[in-house]
Structure 1
Amino acid sequence: MNIYSEVTGNRTNDKGEQLLTIKLDKNIPGYMLERYLDENGQLSGEFTLFDNRIITAPQRKKIHAIFGDIVKATGDGKSDYDIESIKYDMKLIFCEQEKIKMFSLSEKSKTCTVTLASQFITFLLDFCMEYKIGLTVPPLSLVEDIKHYLIKCLHERQCAICWEHGEVHHVDTVGAGRDRKHIDHTKHELMCLCRTHHQESHTIGQITFAKKHHVLGVVMNDEQFKKLKYKG
């Protein structure tokens, strides 16, 4: 049962638990509430917040920058028609993949939220990475979902900093004398770095490296690590 609701209150109780007051668009009959009780007499459900924020100017700038790079890789990079056709094609593929309606990047249309724009930017970066499309600006300056991005770089073996061919780098040290083939890599922070940036991380130290490039390592779960196909 899905019912539209409005959050009218927000407070924290003595236990530090957040309590929201929700006004439903329509009342739920008592017999329906009883029907959904579990064996312990408790009622539970899933709460979803809608993003009412509209795509921001920086997000639009990122999207159009990526469009420009895709055009340069596939056409002459000068035609406005190329930009519009790439925009349409990318939105169409994305919408079919996510099973959503077509949207506009215009602020006036109010059909693209901040969340949707973030997901679209992630999709575009994945596309560029998979098809080896170079970017004119540092990739990290475009990223919205940093964890997804770092894992994608690891899977594609592309340096998270410059997109050159990279190798798996342990951000936190494994320890001298330990066999990398017999350690649990899901307990360690990983990052894909090319030889140049890998050497830089060792030369200036990981803390300085992280501050310079504004990036940390990522911990992968079992499924993500298996896809990595890393033997140590």
Structure 2
Amino acid sequence: CNDIEAHTGQPRDYMRQMFQDYVKFLYGYEERISLSNCSRTIAKQIIEAMFEWIFTNAIPLNYKTSKLMKEEKNYLYWATVTRYCIICGKPHADLAHYEAVGRGMNRNKMNHYDKHVLALCREHHNEQHAIGVKSFDDKYHLHDSWIKVDERLNKMLKGEDNGRSIVDKT
């Protein structure tokens, strides 16, 4: 919430309450949500709502925040869906594939289900290709971090999101 306050000027307590109220409404909880005594499920739902809001509204995260969150699947998912590099936070990132797609394949026509991707800026994507996926994972501690392609990501990879392809062309 510090990054949100720094960017929007909205106090942390206000934003925290907004996310708690959103989750209460979204999931139909009767009781008011308190972070001091809520279940792990509710806490995860609040964190997911925060990440969705942060990335949908292009809130810049400072390096400490993004470094701490690198192992959090919701962070990785929303950074990937909204195309922010999961390493450095640069916008307009490529969707890098864990499994090689192969040159000559039409990425806009192939089915990407059961593939794994992450958003990487051009610099980090080139590095991933240069040193290989395993070495890249070791260097940036990304083991088990790659996001399995779901329907939303599959549409994006096939160029069906807003009528434009977001797949890297290399």
Coarse TM-score class (shorter-chain normalised): 0.7 to 0.9
SS of the aligned residue for 2:148 comes to coil
Structure 2 counterpart of 1:152, which letter?
W
Change in Cα spacing, 1:199 to 1:162, as seen in structure 2 (3 Å) is: same
In structure 2, the residue matched to 1:205 is 132
TM-score (norm 2): 0.75
- What runs of 5+ residues in structure 1 fail to find an aligned partner? 1-66
In structure 2, the residue matched to 1:18 is none
In structure 2, the residue matched to 1:13 is none
Structure 2 counterpart of 1:87, which letter?
R
- Equivalents in 1 of 2:69, 2:102: separation in Å? 34
Structure 2 counterpart of 1:123, which letter?
A
TM-score (norm 1): 0.58
Structure 1 counterpart of 2:41, which letter?
T
Pick aligned residue for 2:15 from 79, 83, 86: 86
How far the C-alpha of 1:207 sits from its partner, in A, is 0.7
How far the C-alpha of 1:227 sits from its partner, in A, is 5.1
How far the C-alpha of 1:117 sits from its partner, in A, is 1.4
Alignment of 1:156 onto 2:90: no
Which structure is larger by alpha-carbon Rg, 1 or 2? 1
- Equivalents in 2 of 1:151, 1:83: separation in Å? 24
- What runs of 5+ residues in structure 2 fail to find an aligned partner? 160-164
Pick aligned residue for 2:59 from 114, 117, 133: 133
CA-atom RMSD in angstroms: 2.6
Percentage of pairs with the same residue: 27
In structure 2, the residue matched to 1:124 is 50
- Equivalents in 2 of 1:94, 1:102: separation in Å? 10
SS of the aligned residue for 2:78 comes to helix
How far the C-alpha of 1:143 sits from its partner, in A, is 6.0
Alignment of 1:174 onto 2:67: no
In structure 1, the residue matched to 2:150 is 221
Whether the 8 Å CA contact 1:138–1:161 is kept in 2: the answer is no
RCO (CA 8 Å, sep 6+): is it higher in 1 or 2?
A: 2
In structure 1, the residue matched to 2:33 is 103
